[in-house]
Amino acid sequence: MLYFFNFNRQGIYSPATIASPDNMKESRIQTLHPDKDKQNKIISAEKYEVIKAAILQILQEQSLTHTQLMQALHDKVHVTFAGNAHWYGETVKLDLEARDIIKRNTAKPPVYSINKH
């Protein structure tokens, strides 16, 4: 039996569903959007985790503009990631902003960094 998890707004896992061989489906996550009036995408939880880990690792090293972050993400995962790294990167980046895990400053262009609470 496998356990799948959802995230709350703080990025903490909570049990979501239990899967048995009879109902094995890919675990999915509803991502959040920083604009509360918008709803983001439902994506593969596995892909979410890969992109989230890559974004956080990249931003641990330095703060980056959107263009720099997406390029660094592409460079990091494009060989092994099955999917459009830029599309997933944008979706997960917005989710991480909504969960207050990363932040975007007000500079022009905006710079992304880890939100150190």
Residue indicated by tokens 């675990």: 27
User: In the predicted model, what is the mean pLDDT of the chain?
Assistant: 86
Residues 100, 96: Cα–Cα separation, whole Å? 6
**In 3D, which of 28, 37, 36, 42 has the Cα closest to residue 91?**
42
Most confident range (mean pLDDT) of 9-18, 33-42, 106-115 is 106-115
Structure-model confidence comparison of residues 23 and 68, the more confident one: 68
Question: Cis (ω within 30 of 0) for the bond into 21?
Answer: no
For residue 70, give its domain range: 2-114
- CATH of residue 106's domain is 1.10.10.10
Q: Is the pTM for the entire model greater than 0.85?
A: no
- Number of independent structural domains in the chain: 1
